[in-house]
Amino acid sequence: MSFPCPKGKYHAFEQSYDLPSEIIEFCNLCGLRMSYRKVNGMIDNVKYLKDHVRDFCQPIGPTAKVYAEVYGHEALSRSLEERRKFGEKQVAEDRLFSDGLEETKEALRFWKRASARGFTETEIKKMILEI
């Protein structure tokens, strides 16, 4: 980053122009104009990420302090709580899926054994529904 934003610690850039040779952005806080030249249709990702710290910071990991500075500690704790709840929900869904997968595998094993013994499709379906 060339220098910190005078109105906030990190610039809040918004893309204004996407030209064939460059991308032009302005900071919503201080009005700074930044230009990113395109080479073979690509811009310098390292420079772009350094200038857009506010946009790419995460509540967990190396940019957690930046996230707390930009969005506040309340937003950080809210985000961490949402992640915890989402993780618990994923674990519950994974358990349901694995249980259903085991039931399906068992039904398939039963189907293969029954069809090997000469049972018809309708007979096998009735036997599975009775179990």
In a domain, 5, yes or no: no
pLDDT of residue 131: 66
Q: Are residues 61 and 19 in the same domain?
A: yes
Count of residues for the chain? Answer: 131
Give the per-residue pLDDT at 105. 86
Could you tell me if 55 and 83 lie in one domain?
Answer: yes
H-assigned helices in 1-131: 45-51, 53-56, 64-71, 73-116, 121-130
Residue ranges making up the domain that contains 124: 99-130
In-domain check, residue 1: no
Q: What's the number of domains the chain is made of? A: 2
- Mean pLDDT, each 10-residue run in order, the chain (131 residues): 74 89 91 90 87 86 85 82 81 76 85 90 84 66
